[in-house]
Amino acid sequence: MEEMTAIDRLTRAMGRSILTATTDDKPAMEGIAGHGVFTYALLRGLSEAQQDTEGLVDVMEWASYVDRRVPEISYKEFNVRQVPQTKIVGSNFSISNRVTMSSVEPGAGSLASIPKTSTHVVIEPVAVRQAATETARAISTLVPGTQVRLVETTEGWALIARDGNSLGFVETKALARIQ
């Protein structure tokens, strides 16, 4: 009874936030870096959602990020738009400091379960970089015809893998989807 009272008080004081992968009659897609699309977007949101001046991610920014990214990712990977559901009651609040999602960062291939099957082919010589930026250190160069697994994309950059191991980031224009 005391726990129920405490939960009720907390809900009234803080509200409650519910984020779900999809509606009860639609499928939730699986298979992005060892996660479902929704879980993957939730985790990425902790590192990529807009943060406040103190470096904190709040629930509304996190939910907004997930709301944008889940349909994008699911359509790109599965040709189906998965639409997450969100219900926020009460005031906005911080949920986390910004974090990094090391399980899909270059060199951490053993931590993530990245499928070994290739999804894309390199169509022009391209530098593989440590981060998704032109100024990041180049790790290696891939030649046209190299098959890779696209793990994720962000702002013109793709995190790629080969044989289940993360390689790094390349410009997405250098890749074509394998038919």
Q: What is the pLDDT of residue 102?
A: 52
Where along the chain do the CATH 3.30.70.1470 domains lie?
2-97
Quote the distance between the C-alpha of residue 25 and its chain's center: 24
Q: Could you read off the pLDDT tens digit of each residue along the chain, which spans 179 residues?
A: 888 787 777 766 667 788 999 998 888 888 777 788 999 999 888 888 887 777 788 889 999 999 999 999 999 888 889 999 998 887 888 888 777 665 443 334 333 478 889 999 999 999 999 888 898 888 899 999 999 999 988 889 999 998 888 888 999 999 999 98
- Gyration radius from the chain CA atoms: 19
**CB neighbour class for 24 (10 Å; exposed up to 12, middle 13-18, buried from 19):** exposed
**Contact predicate 62/95, CB 8 Å:** yes
CATH architecture observed for domain 104-177: Roll (2.30)
- Tally of residues, the chain: 179
pTM over 0.75: no
Q: What is the pLDDT of residue 88?
A: 86
Q: What is the pLDDT of residue 155?
A: 85
Where along the chain do the CATH 2.30.30.40 domains lie?
104-177
Strands 126-129 and 138-142, by their bridges, are antiparallel
Domain range 2-97, its CATH number among 3.55.50.30, 3.40.50.300, 3.30.70.1070, 3.30.70.1470: 3.30.70.1470
Give CA–CA dist 43/21, Å, rounded: 13
Q: Angle at CA 72, nearest 5°, toward 32 and 108?
A: 30
